Homo-oligomer: A and B are copies of this chain.
């Protein structure tokens, strides 16, 4: 999407009388009204409310030449968490579904998995039992299922899997559980010269094969957790082999580290939905000048899921939005997006 940025936002009326402060105020208001009218075309799935207002004001302020908050195009960086921010993460992360399916596909090559945890429980379909081993169990599953092939092979495996993967609760394709308002926001920001990045705790190579088509975000603007890779020549072709060894965890404290490693600039705006995004928002919003931090609060049981435990919503191990994060948001002026109140539509129309 390419939204032309008007050099002069409002056509200057033919006024010969002297300029007054009142007139300047009128222009300011008109400029904002114009911006909002323009945004309305691109943020169709957002209700008029504090969240949409904050987005439009931020974009107007950072992209109009002469505005005190003006940010040069090269420095316009917006970072987005993925799970729970750009698409649904309940009842569990999509990548966990992928890993469990991979265990089933690979089981014939691993007879020992029939009795070895956490694989045995996955094969029995008892995911709860499989995850009693906590992070270590999940990591074991990821290592066993995501490594041992080239990056090209892995990309194809992910592409094939995601084309038919469905959410176990709604039975809708996972790629249809992308948030329409956030896709519009990505386009609106890009239309105003922002480079949009994903900064996710999920696997960098798991997201890249579909992020471009789904979000318009190219592979080089996807940042995530990773395992190590090793360069090899195979049949005269250079390949990278995925190793069962952690390289980087792009979560919590790791998000600013990943941002600095990949982008080398402090983001102007950052968007998340959980405690894992706290440091990314701190990093973005404690920079100088106008900054925007936003957090999606999942408070819509009817249309999506409801979890927090912020504001008394049910607790969740997936995408925890704690009360302390909520309190920090209030204190730092981060804008909380209420799915219930701020989003006219939640999911994308069928693709």
Contact = CB atoms under 8 A, between A and B. Distances in A.
Interface string A246-263: 010000011011001111
Contacts of A240: 256-257, 260, 283
Contacts of A282: 233, 238
A218 interface: yes
Q: Which of A219, A229, A231, A256 is packed against the most chain B CB atoms within 10 Å?
A: A231
B238 A220 contact: no
Interface stretch (A125-133, A204-212, A338-346): A204-212
Nearest to A283: B238
Contacts of A230: 253, 257
A76 to B, nearest CB: 11
Contacts of A170: none
B208 A229 contact: no
Given A195-B220, A205-B264, 19 more contacts: A74-B212, A74-B218, A77-B220, A151-B260, A219-B263, A220-B221, A220-B262, A220-B263, A220-B265, A228-B257, A229-B257, A229-B260, A230-B253, A231-B254, A231-B279, A233-B282, A237-B286, A238-B282, A238-B283
Contacts of A247: 261
Contact of A238 (B229, B263, B286): B286
A225 to B, nearest CB: 11
A316 interface: no
A257 B237 contact: no
